[in-house]
Every structure is written in structure tokens, then in C-alpha cells.
Amino acid sequence: MQTTDERTAAAGAAGSPARPVPPEHPAPPGPADDAPGRGLPPYWALWLLAAAVLPGTALFVAVRGVDEPAVQAWRTVCLAITVQALPFLLLGTALSGAINAFVPARVFGRLLPKRPALAVPVAGVAGVVLPGCECASVPVAGSLIGRGVAPAAAFTFLLSAPAINPVVLTATAIAFPGSPLMVLARLLASLVTATVMGWLWLLLGRTEWLRPAVRHTGHRPGHSRFTEFRLGFQHDFLHAGGFLVLGAMAAATFNVTVPRSLLDAFTGSPWLSVLFLAALAILLAVCSEADAFLAASLTGFPPVARLAFMVVGPMVDLKLIALQAGTFGRAFAVRFSAATTVVAVVSSALIGGVLL
């Protein structure tokens, strides 16, 4: 980013005819500077198209068949996912706003090891402290990056927090009474996946995949911290909430159109069943506090496949992909989700194979 003066100076130095920008019309360079900060144009075009088409289609379908049981079930599931996730999204965006406005960047520098390779496992274990669903962790990870935490560590936290917090582990223990190994396997496989993903990002990750929309500039002198908190909170919530609705619509579509009885077709082969349940976890977008109960009910499947369901679910699903695309950009969300799925399936197959 250059100031107008610098740009004029650079143009002059390059030997091009000196055409000083008139002070009254600074607008042309302005938007050009501003555009990258607000998101990639093709990205927005896509989402705007979806935002324009989806409600219209939904309305059309609804008007044509309000009484169709399928449409009503779709609306119920869509609304249920949204309503269920809203408190956790509010928690996450409030935390992210608070981190941004109240916590100085040096705090994280002190808490986390200096070397990113060491900070990754620490961040993975730190996921224990954020109770609740996966929706809370995306905005928090976004604000952590804004506060100078290494992206690799923030992504590890993003993946581990919804899978290994006490609420989720307790739910798993309740859903699988008499098999504490399942809880242990879930804890280990999730931690391993999150840590490996953090290291993978250190090795292969590129900053240009991240949308440069790290708006969070932290507390600025001369501004009220509380107003900064409130505005950041409100902005993040409205932003992430829109993507949550988009993800809920997609998940509800699969939830209603894919009959659960289809599951029986895949129970035979162990490898297919692992892949199938991993895919199911992505499509159904069940909250991480509840997926253990669903996994427990899939009795036809081998334990390893059910473990894969519980490891993949909190890390990758349709509403999470939508939320990540909103927070970090589409280029990131696609690559990150694909890689996470592979790592999660492999680690749950290995750990499940040893423990279960």
C-alpha cells in the first residue's frame, strides 16, 4: 500500500509524464487500493449470486409446496442448525471481538513458544479451553491471526478446540458407555490431526491463500475500547452469521434428500465404511456436541468408521466450510478442508486401528 504522494513520486521517478493526482479527485486510486482489502471480486460475485438465487428458489419451492413434508422438513432442519449454532457463534464472535479490543498482541507472544513448530502442539492442547461447538472457533482463530499469532498455531487451535473440549469428550463418554477407549481415541486422533495440519501449513501453506481481510487492527489509541469491541463483535457476527445460514441450507438439503437407510449399503467393507462415514460427517454438519450420539447409533459400522465420523465432523463440514470461506477466503477454505479431511481420515484409521 502506498500513499498518494509516494505513488506520484514513484511515477515521476519511472520517467512517465508527471501527472500529479489532483487533490480534489483522489477517488480513482482509492478504490483500487481498497479492493484487495475487501475480498476477491470473483469470490463475492459467487456468494452474491448464491444470496440472490437461493432465497428466491427457496421461496419458489415454498410457495409451490408449503405443505410438502419434504419442504417443511428442510425448513425445520435448516432453522434448527441455525438456531442451535447461533449461541455458539455469538460466543465465538464476542470472544474474537474481545481478543481484538482488549488483549494486547504481546500476551500471545508470551503464552506461545516463539518457534511456530513448537507453538502448533501447544495451540492444539489449548483447544481444551474453548467449550462448545465448532462455530465458535472460526472467528476466534481469525482474530488470533489478527493479533499476530502464527497462522499455523491458530489453525491448529481452530481444528482442535471443537473436538477435544471437555463438553464434547463428556458427551462422547455418555454416548459410548463402557468403551472409554473411544473417548481416548477421539482425543488422540483429533489432536494428531490438528497438530499435523498446523505443521503442514508451516511446510506448504501460503499467505496469499488467506484473504487479506484481517481487518482486526487491535486497539487503536484515541478510540473507546468498548466501542471497538461492540463494532468488531457486531461485524463479525453478521458476517459469519450469513455464512452460517448458507452452510445450514446446504447441510439441510443433504439431510433431507439423503435417506438414512442408505447407510446400510456401506456397512460391509471396512475401508468403504470409513470413507463413507467421513463423507457423511461433512454433509450432515451435525454439531460436535451431538455427533457422538449419532455415531453411537450407527451400530452397523465398525468402530474405526465411527471414530472417523467423530474426528472429521468437528473439523470439516458444510457449515464450517462456509464459515471458513467467509472468514479466511474461499481459496483457503477449499484447500484447508480437503487436506484436513485426508489427514483426519488417515489419523483416525491409524489410531482407531491400534486402539479399537
Residues 29-48 that bind other proteins (CB under 8 A): 29-30, 33-34, 37-39, 44, 47-48
By the 8 A CB rule, do 317 and 162 touch?
no
Looking at 167, 230, 303, 346, which residue binds other proteins (CB under 8 A)? 230
Phi-psi sector, 104: left (phi>0), alpha (psi -120 to 50), beta: beta
Nearer residue to other proteins within complex by CB, 115 or 223: 223
Q: Can you tell me the distance from the alpha carbon of 328 to that of 239, in angstroms, rounded to the nearest whole number?
A: 12
- Which residues in 264-303 contact other proteins (CB under 8 A)? 264, 284-287, 289-291, 293-294, 297, 299
> Which residues have CB under 8 Å from 253's CB, separation 6+?
74
Does residue 57 belong to the site contacting other proteins (CB under 8 A)? no
Smallest distance, other proteins to C-beta of residue 293, A: 4
Does residue 51 belong to the site contacting other proteins (CB under 8 A)? yes
Smallest distance, other proteins to C-beta of residue 115, A: 26
- Which residues in 179-198 contact other proteins (CB under 8 A)? none
Nearer residue to other proteins within complex by CB, 224 or 269: 224
Looking at 104-112, 158-166, 184-192, 256-264, which segment touches other proteins (CB under 8 A)? 256-264
Does residue 321 belong to the site contacting other proteins (CB under 8 A)? no
Contact characters 78-107, other proteins, x per CB under 8 A: xxxxxxx-xx--x---x-------------
Looking at 53-61, 149-157, 271-279, 332-340, which segment touches other proteins (CB under 8 A)? 53-61
Burial class (CB in 10 A: 0-12, 13-18, 19+), 88: buried
Q: Can you tell me the distance from the alpha carbon of 271 to that of 134, in angstroms, rounded to the nearest whole number?
A: 27
Nearer residue to other proteins within complex by CB, 6 or 208: 6
- Largest Cα–Cα distance of the chain, in whole Å? 80
Nearer residue to other proteins within complex by CB, 198 or 314: 314
- Which residues in 128-157 contact other proteins (CB under 8 A)? none
> Which residues have CB under 8 Å from 239's CB, separation 6+?
326, 327
Q: Which of 98, 136, 163, 132 is nearest to 241 (CA)?
A: 136
Q: Can you tell me the distance from the alpha carbon of 133 to that of 131, in angstroms, rounded to the nearest whole number?
A: 7
Looking at 148-156, 186-194, 223-231, 304-312, which segment touches other proteins (CB under 8 A)? 223-231
Looking at 26, 65, 180, 270, which residue binds other proteins (CB under 8 A)? 26
Looking at 11, 72, 102, 334, which residue binds other proteins (CB under 8 A)? 72
Please list the alpha-helical segments (H only) found in the chain.
4-13, 29-34, 41-64, 69-102, 105-111, 116-126, 137-146, 151-164, 166-175, 180-204, 225-257, 270-284, 291-297, 303-312, 318-328, 330-355
Looking at 125, 181, 263, 350, which residue binds other proteins (CB under 8 A)? 263
Does residue 314 belong to the site contacting other proteins (CB under 8 A)? no
- Which residues in 322-341 contact other proteins (CB under 8 A)? 326
Overall size of the chain counted in residues: 356
DSSP SS3 for 104:
coil
Nearer residue to other proteins within complex by CB, 268 or 354: 268
State the DSSP string of 211-266: -S--------TTS-HHHHHHHHHHHHHHHHHHHHHHHHHHHHHHHHHS-GGGGGGG
Nearer residue to other proteins within complex by CB, 147 or 239: 239
Q: Can you tell me the distance from the alpha carbon of 352 to that of 111, in angstroms, rounded to the nearest whole number?
A: 32
Looking at 197, 251, 277, 333, which residue binds other proteins (CB under 8 A)? 251
Total residues interacting with other proteins, rule: CB under 8 A: 85
Nearer residue to other proteins within complex by CB, 243 or 332: 243
